[in-house]
Amino acid sequence: MKKEIPPGDNRLRKVCSNCATIHYHNPKVITGCLPVWEDKVLLCRRAIEPRKGFWNVPAGFMELGETTEEGAAREVWEEAEAKVDIWGVHTVFTFKRFANVYVQYLGELVDGKYGIGEESTEVKLFSESEIPWEEIAFESSTFALRKYFEDRKNGVRQAHSGHL
C-alpha cells in the first residue's frame, strides 16, 4: 500500500502497490431513531464497547442494501426489540474526529412494546425529567434528546445539524 494522489483527484489516497486499487476512506453513516411513546423516549443501556454501560438512542452502522430509514428501524429492533413508525429526519450529527455521520430519525413506538436486544443490558422509557444526562453514551444522542425536548416545548418538528 502506498499513498498518492490519483489522476483527477486532489487528495492523497491509499493505493495498493500490487493491483493499483484506490482505497477511498470516507465517513461512515450511523443511522438511528429516537423512539417516542406518550410523553417518554426509549433509550438502551449499551452491552458493548464503546461506552458500555451508558445509555443511548438506538443506532448503528448503516449496511449496504438498506435505506437510512430501514437501517434506523432495524437498529431499534436489534437493540430494543421494538417496532417504530418513523416520522422524519431529526438530526444529522458529524463526529469529525471519527469520521462518523449520525442520521437520526424521530419516530413513535408502534404498540408501546419493547424488549432487551442483544447489544443492550437494559431498555427503558424515560420522561424528560428522568433522562440520565450524565450517563448518555454519545454527544450525538445528547444533541438529539435536547433538540427533541426543545422542539416539543415549542410545538415544532424540524431537523437539526450538529457536530463535534
Q: Which of 28, 38, 19, 32 is CA-nearest to residue 80?
A: 32
Least distance to a second copy, CB of residue 65, Å: 6
Closer CB to a second copy, 37 or 70, in the complex: 70
Considering the complex, what minimum distance in angstroms separates the CB of residue 80 from a second copy?
A: 17
Nearest approach in angstroms of CB 134 to a second copy is 26
Task: Give the residue with the Cβ less far from a second copy, 26 or 129.
Answer: 26
Binding residues vs a second copy (CB under 8 A): 11, 24-29, 61-69, 86, 88-89, 92, 94, 96, 99, 101, 103, 105, 157-161, 163
DSSP per-residue codes, 40-91: EEEEEEESSSSSTTSEE-SEEE--TTS-HHHHHHHHHHHHH---EEEEEEEE
